[in-house]
Structure formats: structure tokens, C-alpha cells
Structure 1
């Protein structure tokens, strides 16, 4: 438990707590824009109630995402000062562009989105919602660009050990960036989709907010039917890109130790034995790995033994995390196909096992995203900038294990307290459900009291549920 390992654990813990909130808000912002557009077209009060219901959840999630993201930037200076010193000329501007474009855009229109109902025109309010949604996507663009450059660096020169930009186009649009951007945006949308569908299915099972539940579940099924197959396609392209630019990571994902003449098997399950450089209890399908990984029957990928042990990532976490991500993706696809079949038979809202399936998969997107990021980040080890700067060499030279451990304990306690309270409040909002929206103050009569867009209301969830049933 030296300073290096503790710093990696600390960064991993903080970013794991952070990523779940942007993953939700990216999708929710676009969902809110869609809901408000539908309300503008139909003037259906249920669309308006759904908008303000999900707006509360978005606002709380957005706030927790901002708070947890600030801590990450400080760690570049405290724990990873050498990385900041050597790659700051490239990573610094990329992260600054995210602030100058996305964060300022979101901050400018978020207040209108939260507090501007009936204070500005409906079209202007809808425009503000769209700008916030656009801001979340622009933020994703720059963050994924910076992280992708660390995975597949391009457009740089090294002068006295310092990375200098040579081509900003090549830096931003590095080889893995297009695939990883599409993969992350789809993952965020799918995560939000299953949260919406799971909440809707929960209302239908409990017999509350039935019309709202039907509307949420129906739109979740439609969107998932488009997004999940698209994610499978993009994931396949991303895998081919990993095989080209990060072959050691791909070998760890598949626990592929040796070259197999005639075709690579697809390992379904195994216990990777890194000491003996083999797999124990392996269950594999011969040659299928070549078809999946190279799209040929006899294609080859670089085995782990092709590089020294010091150049390999930890195999077990990469291998298992990848299978968690893929397994959840296949479960999502199966649930969506079953939902489409039930919808065709007009039993989507009456099938108990389907509703329970959506409820069980409500948080599956978060697990899949975390597993995917573990594959990405652990798989590039032992490098922080792939092939160029080792993680051990990026650590701040004077940081001590004691100070890192102390700060890690503080982070765990604070995060569990703050985010525990936030998640409890989100649960309370969801349990209460979409209620008729209270109108904003009548400014024509001189009312000055601001609306309370984040309030869950004075009624208890049980009272609200009873009223919803009646």
C-alpha cells in the first residue's frame, strides 16, 4: 500500500463516484428537451408534469456531478504532478475548452431552465433546455477527447521530456476518439433510458401514476430498441480499434495468452492465472474469437506473452469487467426484444415478468458504464499515457503514503455522507412520483417568491401515492 497504489485507488474511487452522475444527466437533459417539445406540441398536462418531475432529478444529479468533478482536477496537481508537468500543455487546453464551451453554456441556461417557467416565454424556456442538453454533449466531447488522447496519443512532439502540441486536429481527433465518444454518449443515453423505463415499470407494478408509467415505459422501449443495437455495432468497431492501437489491452480483455493457429477461441469464462500465464477452468468456443475480434475465421490478435510481464495490465479485473459490461448489454438487448414482442401482442403493460425485468435493470446502465471504464483505465496500465509515460513515473515525487491514505479516508467519509444524502433525496423524489405541477408565481400581480423546482413537496411519499391511486 505505497503512495502509487493509494493514489490510484483514490483516483479510481473519486472518478467512479463522479461518472455515474454525468452519465445520467447527459441522457436526462436530452430527455427533458424531448418532453418539453412534446408538451409544446400537444399541451398535454402529463408531459408538463413529467418534465418537472425529471427536472428535479436532473438538477440534483447535475449538482452532485459538478461537486464530485471538481475534486478530480485537484488530484492532477496533488497526486499526479509529473503528469500535469509533462502533459499539461495538451491536457490543460482540452480541459479548459470543456469549461469555456460546455460549462459556461450550461451555467448560462441552467438558471432559466430551473427557475424561468412562466417568467420567460415557453419557446425561450425550451431553447434553454436544449442549450443545457447541448452543453452536456459538448462537455462529453472534450472530456472523451482528453482521455482518448491518453489512450491513443497523436499530434504531439516531445521536447526535453515535455509533450508539446504539433497538430491540434490530430490531438482532438486521435485514433480512438470517434469510437469512444459514440460509445460513451450511447452508454449515457441507454443508462438514462433504463432508469426511465425502470421507474415507469415500478409505477405500473405498484398501481400508481399509471398513465405516467405507461408513457415512460413505452418511450424507453422505443429508444432502447434503437440505441442498444447501435451500441452493439459501435462497441464492435471500438473493439477493432483497440486491437489495432492497444493490442495488449485487447489481449487482457480476452485473457489471450498464446497464439492459436487456425483461429482464436472466444473465452466465455475463465480464471486468469497471471503467475502461470494461463487460464484455469476455461470455457471457450474454438475460432469464434477470431470471428468476433477480427471478423475473419482464422484472424489473430497479439497474445499477452508477446510482451514482457512488466508491460501487461492486471488481467483479472480487465477480463471480468469486460464480461460484466458485455453481459449486461446482452441482457438489455434481450429485455428490449421481449418488450417489443409483448408490445406487439398488447401485453407490454400487463406482463408481470417484463415489468419486473425493467425494474431489475433500472440501474444496470450504471454498472455497465463503471465496468467499461474499468476496462479502459486498468487496461492501459502500466501506462498513464499509453506507451509513453508510465503511471509510476507520473506520480508526484514528494507525496507520501500517509497523506494519500488520510485524504482517501476523508473522501470516502465525505462522499458517503454527501452523496448518500443526495441519493436518498433522489429516491424520495422517485417514490413521490410526478405530481401536478404547482404554477409559478404570478408576476403580473407582483408576486416575488421564486418557484421551488427542487422541492419534493410538503406531502409525504405515502400520501402522494395514496392520492395517485385515487
Structure 2
């Protein structure tokens, strides 16, 4: 079962498929873990039951997402042995320890405190429970750090030597871990995870506000999500710009593919808004361009020369179609996120952020946008690295295990079937959890506070944001 493709192409598709499924879960769980830490901290600080309700609501969603991320990650790692054993042999001395450190420092931290964070509040007390929640959140960030470092080294290798049989030997672990692209990739990845969670939380809050705009928990989650969108999105755009400049320095062929520049521009490159890459003719058809703007953005000089793909040997050029379109999807979603964040600020200033149905509908539409953006960004950077696994040093064709195309094709079909059945069921269950109103069965116990005991009933919901404290706090 080879589908008319080579074993290399099928192995690449298989890895891309499994990583795509895996990536969406950590992208969500990293942000959700930090969100739970903030909610728990607000509960301990203010003793407002609304924050405890939200913590209990989102911890179940986090637990399901975390579990699916762990399972999909284990399956993905097996492919280093089944499909990419030559890469594992030659680069294992560098990549192996980095991934091992991720298990020792991050996964053990998460696994050790996860049970306490999810179920231990009444058993260990508020202080230790807060430590456990924070440990899980920090663990997800440490995990992202090690994995991003390993991936970044494959793009900008440093701190190594090569022995007589072509294996990479670590020489300077500081240079390996903090390789030239690592700081930009880590910052970009973590902010993307926060935004992914923010827009998912915002969509859930918006959905429940459309059902009941007086739902205080829905108001809080929507407000927090929109603050995140308004503050973090412009930061992410700036970080993305710096990441692009770093990529231009170390992987100029990737930038040429992303920008659709088949030809070099000695007098200033345009910014290509849209076009149709023509790989056969090595040109961009139907291009919509803004003259000189590409050089202005990348070189800070509208007349600065910029290399196109024709400046590189044919066998070192990445494919153009996927990086070109994926990059535009990512950037387009980024500016859509910025637009929604600014709209929420306007609605907040007008006092109708909780009663503006069009804002809520837009937030629901944007709910999956973070997941799409992180996948588009991953496709851009990984396909743009081709034809190398270790950029400039080890080609993808040299990294493949001695396997035949039918064997890889059969395992790919098996992965597709099993993943859609198992993870499809998991995603379906997550949507059922999202549809639950953020008012839990335990609310009647939480509401046994001084106001309820005194027979005081909270007043009717207001159109303006509810103030903290007072009778509206419950």
C-alpha cells in the first residue's frame, strides 16, 4: 500500500499527521494549565466562589486534553525508531538527551502533582494544592522549553562536532540548548499556546453568554479571554516579526519560499499578499504585491536586495506551496485575533461587552483559530526546512529507516483510522464538556455563604460588568 509515493514521502506524511494531532493538545493544555493556576490564585485571594466554579469547570477539560496529549506524544516518538532510525542514530546523541531531560524535569513534575491538582484540594489544604497547580503549569512550560530546544537545534544546529561516520557529537550543551533560533521559537510557541487557550475559553464563554448573559462565570471567562487577546496578540505579532528576521539570517531559503520569491530582487522586494505558486515554471502566478514593502519589513530598507529561490541550488530549495499558503493563514489569523481583541476593548469601553451578541458570535467563530494558527505555523517552519532534517547538514532522504513504501503506507492507514476513532471520540467528549453551563452541581454547596445564610438573594443581572464583592459575588 504505497499510494504511488516513495517511502520517504509516506514517512513524512505519517509524522506530519501524528504530530498535527499531538500538537493541538499541548498547545491547549499549556495555556489551560496556566489559566487554572490563575483561577486558583484568584479564588485563594478573593474567596469568590465564581473562580472556584471556573477552576472546577476547566480542570476536567484540562485533564482530558492532557491525557490525549500524552498518548499521542508517545505514539509519535515511536516513529523515530520505525521510520527515522538513521536520523536517530546520527543525531541521537544531541536530540536524545534533550527529550530525556523533558521527561525527567517536566513530565515527572506534571505527573507527580497532577493528581493533587485535580483531586487533592480537600485532602492537602489550599496552600499545598496551589503549589500542585502551579507545579503542573510550570511543568508544561518546562516541557515546551526542552521540546522547542530540540526542534530549534534541527533548524539552527550549534555546539556539535561530526565524527568520522557522520554522527553529531555534543561539544557545548549551552550552545546546543540555547541555539540561535531557540529564544524566538520558544517565545512564539508559548504565546501561541496562551492565545490558543484564550480564544477557546473566549468562545466557550461567548456561547454561554448567548444562552444567558447574566451567567457570571461565563462573563468572567469571556472577560479574561478578551483581555488576553487584546494584550498578548500584538506582542505575538512583534515576536513573530523578530522570529522572521532570525529565520532570514539562518534559513534564507525558507523565507524565500514563505514570501513566494522565486526570483531575487536586487532593488527591493515586494510584499506578496497573494498568488499561486507555479513550481513547474518556478514563478508566482496572479501575484498581488505591494512594491518594496517586503524589503522594508525584512531588511528595514525598501531598496535592500533580497535573495529569491534562484540564489540557491535546486536541490537545496524547499517546496513553496505549503509554506507560502500556511504562512498567510497564520498571519491572517493573527490579525483577525488582533481585530477581535480591539473590538472587545471597544465593547468594554462602551459597557456592552457582555451583551453584544455580534461580538460573542465573532468570538465563537474565532474559537478554533489558535489551533489552526499553530498548525499553520508548524507546517510553515517544518516544510520550509526541507530538504533537510538537520538544516544544511543532514538531508531527509538520508534520515529514513530502511523500510519499504508499502509498509509505511499500511501503518499510515492504521494511524489515520485509529486516530480518528479514538481522538475523534475524545474531541466529541470535549465539546460536550464545553456545552455544559459553567454552573456546577456543587454550586448549592458553594453558595452556602453569609449572603445565603442571611436569606439575601443576589440582585438581577446588570448590562454593565458585575463588580466584585457585594451580593453579586455569588
Normalising by structure 2, what TM-score? 0.91
**What's the CA shift for 1:309?**
2.0
CA apart distance, 1:86: 0.3
Q: 2:419 aligns with which of 415, 435, 455?
A: 415
For this pair of structures, how many residues does the alignment match?
439
State how far apart, in whole Å, the 1-side matches of 2:439 and 2:357 are. 25
The within-5 A match list for 1:282-321 is 282-321=287-326
CA deviation after TM superposition for structure 1 residue 347, in Å? 1.6
Tell me the distance in 2 between the aligned counterparts of 1:221 and 1:300. 40
Contact (CA 8 Å) 2:260, 2:324: kept in 1 or not? yes
Q: CA deviation at 1:3?
A: 0.8
SS of the residue aligned with 1:219? Answer: helix
Aligned to 1:107: 111
Structure 2 runs not aligned, ≥5 long: 446-474
Structure 1 stretches (4+) deviating beyond 3 angstroms? none
SS in 1 for 2:253: helix
What per-residue deviation string (whole Å, max 9, x for no partner) do you get for residues 71-102 of structure 1?
11110001000000000000000000000000
Q: Which of 333, 339, 358 is residue 338 of structure 2 equivalent to?
A: 333
What residue is the counterpart of 2:405 in the other structure?
Answer: 401
State the 1:117 CA deviation. 2.1
Task: Indicate which of 347, 361, 368 corresponds to 2:366.
Answer: 361
> Residue 206 of structure 2 is aligned with which of 182, 201, 209?
201
1:150 corresponding residue in structure 2: 154
How many angstroms apart in 1 are the aligned matches of 2:255 and 2:62? Answer: 36
The Cα shift of 1:437 comes to: 5.2
SS at match of 1:367: helix
Deviations 1:246-291 (A, max 9, x none): 0000000001122223311000000011111111000000001111
Mapped to 1, the partners of 2:22 and 2:214 lie a distance apart of 31
Query: Counterparts in 2 of 1:150-299, with a 5 A limit?
Result: 150-160=154-164, 161-207=166-212, 210-299=215-304
Change (3 A) 1:431 1:348: same
RMSD after superposition: 1.2
Given the two structures, how large is their TM-score scaled by the length of structure 1? 0.92
After TM superposition, the structure 1 = structure 2 runs for residues 65-80 of structure 1, keeping only pairs within 5 Å, are 65-80=69-84
Does the aligned pair in 2 maintain the 1:243–1:301 contact within 8 Å? no
Q: Which runs of 5+ in 1 are unaligned?
A: 442-470
Contact 2:85 2:401 in 1 (8 A): yes
2:195–2:229 contact (8 Å) kept in structure 1: yes
Bigger mean CA offset, 349-358 vs 178-187: 349-358
The one-character-per-residue Cα deviations of 1:306-336 (angstroms, maximum 9, x if unpaired) are: 1122211110111000000000000000111
Are 1:96 and 2:93 counterparts? no
Instruction: Measure how far apart 1:206 and its partner are.
Output: 1.8
User: 2:270·2:294 contact (CA, 8 Å) conserved in 1?
Assistant: yes
Structure 2 CA distance for aligned equivalents of residues 322 and 209 of structure 1:
40
**Which runs of structure 2 are paired with 1:342-353 in the superposition (5 Å)?**
342-353=347-358
Q: Which position in structure 2 is the counterpart of 1:29?
A: 33
36, 40, 63: which one aligns with 2:44? 40
